[in-house]
């Protein structure tokens, strides 16, 4: 079995979050490793993984950071004609065994985008933290507010009955909505762009090339882990 395993060139780790660290160690012989988010729980784990993988190909699937709309989002942000940014992620139909499991599963999506686009996390405030229960399962409605110097940013989790996965840039006269599910851009209610590619196209292009993603390094992962854990700690304390 070990001989067969060592012939495998790519390993995609899709196991429960609590097993990520042990599986990263187990499959460290592989030439390429893909792992689902959330990546790791502790900085101590990250430091050990960094030693093992410092010269290896390791890609965390922060899938929306690979979306073909990212360059268009960056160009819009460069113009600085906006006052509000909203990151919407909703899937109200999905419930979890544990009370804060929804937040754990979903937070890395908006956090990875914030870090990619703005390079830092300012201070945040949890505006809404509502727990929903159904047949002994849970999900949450959460709103987190970040105050950047020149604009406000909100993460909205499960605030819509519709499935959502988008970033909205609010300007004085219009709202631009970048839909990650649809790979499309809307100005108000009008579609103005449709990409022929998806996040997965770009993701697998990076995987095929074998080149390290320049936006993903261990400092990037560290900032996300610290920020996620800081938010989760406050969510556990505060029910709003």
* pLDDT at res. 171: 96
Whether the predicted pLDDT of 240 surpasses 70: no
Whether the predicted pLDDT of 237 surpasses 90: no
* pLDDT at res. 239: 62
Whether the predicted pLDDT of 181 surpasses 60: yes
- Band (108; pLDDT cuts 50, 70, 90): very high
* pLDDT at res. 86: 98
* pLDDT at res. 179: 98
* pLDDT at res. 100: 87
List the one residue out of 130, 118, 124, 126 whose CA is nearest residue 147: 124
CA distance 184 to 198: 10
Average of per-residue pLDDT across 54-82:
95
Alpha helices in 81-150 (DSSP H): 101-106, 108-118
CA distance 113 to 126: 18
- Distance in angstroms between the alpha carbons of the first and the last residue of the chain: 52
* pLDDT at res. 196: 96
User: Token digits for 56?
Assistant: 């290896």
Pick the range with the lowest mean pLDDT from 2-16, 38-52, 63-77, 78-92: 2-16
- 13-24 pLDDT, tens digit each: 999 999 999 999
Pairing of strands 124-134, 10-13: unpaired
Residue 32 — φ and ψ, nearest 5°?
-135, 135
* pLDDT at res. 4: 76
Whether the predicted pLDDT of 2 surpasses 90: no
β partners of residue 164: 90
- Contact criterion met (CB below 8 Å) for 63 and 199: yes
9 vs 36 pLDDT, higher one: 36
User: Token digits for 193?
Assistant: 């762009």
7 vs 18 pLDDT, higher one: 18
- 122-177 pLDDT, tens digit each: 999 999 999 999 999 999 999 999 999 999 999 999 999 999 999 999 999 999 99
Length of the chain as a residue count: 240
* pLDDT at res. 238: 75
- 203-234 pLDDT, tens digit each: 999 999 988 888 899 999 999 999 999 999 99
List the one residue out of 141, 143, 153, 142 whose CA is nearest residue 73: 153
State whether residue 75 is helix, strand or coil.
helix
- 16-56 pLDDT, tens digit each: 999 999 999 999 988 899 999 999 999 999 999 999 998 89
CA distance 143 to 156: 5
Contacts of 168 (CB under 8 A, 6+ apart): 84, 85, 86, 87, 88, 175, 176, 177, 178
């Amino acid at each position: 079995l070990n001989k067969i395993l060592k012939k495998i060139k790519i390993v995609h780790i899709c196991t429960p979050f609590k097993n990520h660290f042990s599986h990263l160690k187990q499959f460290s012989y592989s030439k390429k490793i893909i792992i689902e988010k959330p990546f790791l729980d502790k900085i101590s784990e990250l430091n050990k993984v960094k030693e093992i993988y410092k010269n290896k190909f390791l890609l965390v699937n922060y899938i929306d950071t690979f979306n073909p709309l990212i360059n268009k989002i960056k160009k819009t942000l460069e113009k600085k004609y906006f006052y509000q940014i909203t990151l919407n992620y909703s899937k109200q139909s999905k419930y979890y065994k544990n009370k804060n499991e929804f937040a754990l599963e979903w937070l890395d999506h908006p956090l990875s985008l914030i870090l990619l686009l703005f390079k830092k996390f300012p201070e945040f405030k949890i505006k809404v933290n509502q727990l929903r229960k159904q047949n002994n399962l849970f999900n949450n409605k959460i709103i987190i507010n970040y105050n950047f110097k020149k604009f406000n940013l909100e993460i909205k989790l499960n605030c819509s009955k519709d499935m959502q996965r988008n970033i909205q840039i609010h300007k004085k006269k219009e709202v631009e909505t970048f839909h990650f599910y649809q790979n499309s851009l809307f100005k108000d209610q009008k579609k103005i762009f449709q990409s022929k590619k998806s996040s997965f196209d770009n993701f697998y292009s990076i995987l095929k090339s074998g080149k390290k993603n320049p936006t993903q390094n261990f400092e990037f992962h560290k900032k996300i882990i610290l920020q996620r854990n800081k938010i989760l700690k406050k969510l556990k304390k505060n029910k709003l």
